Amino acid sequence: MNRLLSALVLATLCVAAAAQSSNHQYITVVAEPDHADWTYHTGETPRLTAYAIKENVRMKGVEISYSYGPDKLDAVGSGTVTTGDDGLARFTIPAAKQPGFTSVRVKVYHEGRYYTSMTNIAFDPLKIQPTTTMPADFEQFWSDAIQKAALVPMNPSLRHNAEQSNDRVDVYYLKMQSYRKGNYVYGVLTVPKTSGRKPAILRLPGAAVRTFNGPHELAYEGFVVLEIGVHGIPVDQDPEIYRQLEAGALSGYTTIGIDNRDTYYYMRSILGCVRAVDFLCTLPDVDTTRIATYGGSQGGMLSIMTAALNPKVSALFAYFPAFCDLTGYYYGRGAGWPHLFRDPNEPNLEARMNVSKYYDTVNFARLLRVPGFYAWGYNDPACCPTSTYSAYNVITAPKTLQVGRDTGHWLYPWQVDNALRWIKTQFHME
């Protein structure tokens, strides 16, 4: 694996990782579980060692506050311990009665500042089951929507971008009709200048309203790469336009139209992703037997959904997918981004939850028939592990999961390296 490529892809996929490293705390406070994998069976009592490190030395005689509670929910217990001459302090938390995650937060106050961290402890995570259910007409609903959208002419247009192209790849800006007349998908296509048909990757975006450009780094590894937006707007405009849209018309887009399954915002987005795979299959450079979907967070959700709905997809990589088990909060446990239904007094709550079942990543995961590579961490505050395991555990297709336990909403380079190596192996490229 080309290490430069891995670094570039990591930068693309995991902007949050850079933010994390730039905010390194002067004092690092740690809650270390007595199981190295942070994983217990239900009924087991976790024993933790707490310590605070300042300038690479454990601090003696410092008071550490701790609290614990279910993943993404309020703490249910707390306490304090004081480190001894070895700089260590120990405490226990109650065993969980059901599979899930318990968040342990530790805090130190020093010279006018608080320093904190979180350790999410797992209890039989591979036994976590979703709270959402699949509607009886789920498959029919999406089959009908796809068939209706297929009646709309694709009418694709490609605009070559000479500035972004080079002696190894060509870059094009795509506009194609999708979903209904006058509705478009926009994206950036990067095509290697090598001969013959090549595997293709549909790169799907995380949550934001932003621009895209080429070339995509994966094209240098031999893939045709199509990176699309999901908002039906051009992807090559001035950044100020996207800032205004995100603050205005597209503010809170995850709830637009949520009162009706036929008007929900993501209907267009999902069908656009399905149509993007169909477009890739029209390209003479693409080997239609080797197409993968690829993305994280919102992009991970769309990667799973697209692979479930379009039989032309033969593999997928989804990291910390969003929209998993959206009804979790209603049933008293953590749910995935965008954290809907936390307020039991929300207007039209029951109808909205019923709509969510047609868009929950869990229900698409139930339909997967192609191999997938998945990656996340225990400490993800956005797409919490309770939610992502809810989706992973219902998948019956071949699946590989690599967990970086202390990661948040980002990945380590080795997770990215292994994912790309896995995709290349699936497509017989190495």
Query: Catalytic residue numbers?
Result: 297, 380, 409
d(CA 386, CA 378): 9
d(CA 40, CA 322): 25
Residue 416 near residue 13, CB atoms below 8 Å? yes
d(CA 25, CA 153): 54
What is the β-pairing status of strands 63-70 and 100-110? antiparallel
What is the β-pairing status of strands 63-70 and 77-82? antiparallel
Distance set, CA 260 to CA 251, 348, 362 (Å) = 19, 11, 19
- Cα 353 → chain centroid: 21
Question: Per DSSP, which regions of 59-128 are E strands?
Answer: 63-70, 77-82, 89-92, 100-110, 113-123
What is the β-pairing status of strands 372-376 and 63-70? unpaired
- b/e 57-81 (16+ beta carbons within 10 angstroms → b): ebbeebebbbbbbbbbbeeeeeeeb
Helix, strand or coil, per DSSP, at residue 283: coil
For residue 15, count CB atoms less than 10 angstroms from its CB and return exposed for 0-12, middle for 13-18, buried for 19 or more: middle
Q: Which H or E run contains 28?
A: strand 27-33
d(CA 300, CA 361): 9
d(CA 46, CA 231): 45
Instruction: Give 35's DSSP letter.
Output: S
d(CA 8, CA 20): 17
